[in-house]
Structure 1
């Protein structure tokens, strides 16, 4: 059953990416990160440590991808603030990997959720 769901998610993601604008691609990254953070939380609670490690690695890869999309030349102080926030979230995920802190995951989910909301607002304003 889980394999069927994973297959569906992969096809859904491919369709979303193929039809997305650059702004929508960033939203796809945020959504993927938030989904994976939730999965990480579940793995910690269920004590599935190998799966927790794989989920954290995916989260870190997505955060690095988000950080690499920042335009330092045109973004000003906001871009530097976002970069610092992404770095903070990466640092927290490393700590969480050892501490298994569900509270820490919740903090990162909250921070990324706020940034996603702001990005969605930027996207809506540009339409």
Structure 2
């Protein structure tokens, strides 16, 4: 039963990573879930960049698709447009712009566009982390 898994250490590591991620997701607060979405999108973009550089078209497309899905179905769809007002509207437009850059980067194998999108997403993620840190510092102990 265990022998086939032990002969393939890469498979065991992936299974362990999948379980670890599932555990993190199941125990995460809503704010932590957003952080996990940023991490997932970033990881997909790192893979997309590696596949783009290596000329691996199919894998590149999969990685871009995963990042776009996380941004669109995860980050953008989690915005509360009513409560967030202008900020949510601006973030939604920025996510759309990031997605547009990613689609063109994939279509044209354009490393510059990918890096622009990565920087934009990293800036939003950094702002999110700073906001969480600010909130944590104002919470009573």
TM-score normalised by L of structure 2: 0.84
Out of 99, 113, 116, the residue aligned to residue 107 of structure 1 is 116
Secondary structure of the 1:122 match is helix
> Which consecutive unaligned segments of at least 5 residues does structure 1 have?
none
How many residues were matched structurally? Answer: 127
Look up the match of 2:3: none
1:76 CA drift (Å) = 1.5
Out of 53, 56, 60, the residue aligned to residue 61 of structure 2 is 53
Higher relative contact order, structure no. (Cα contacts within 8 Å, ≥ 6 residues apart) = 1
Look up the match of 1:40: 48
Distance in 2 between residues matched to 1:27 and 1:75, nearest whole Å: 18
When residues 108 and 5 of structure 1 are mapped into structure 2, their CA distance, relative to the original with a 3 A threshold, is farther
Out of 68, 78, 93, the residue aligned to residue 69 of structure 1 is 78
1:50 CA drift (Å) = 0.5
Query: What is the root-mean-square deviation in Å for CA atoms of aligned residues?
Result: 1.3
Q: Which stretches of structure 1, 4 residues or more, deviate above 3 A after TM superposition? A: 1-5
Out of 32, 35, 41, the residue aligned to residue 24 of structure 1 is 32
TM-score normalised by L of structure 1: 0.93
Structure 2 residue 117 is the aligned partner of structure 1 residue 87? no
* Larger radius of gyration between Structure 1 and Structure 2: 2
> Which consecutive unaligned segments of at least 5 residues does structure 2 have?
1-8, 137-141
1:103 CA drift (Å) = 1.3
Distance in 1 between residues matched to 2:93 and 2:83, nearest whole Å: 17
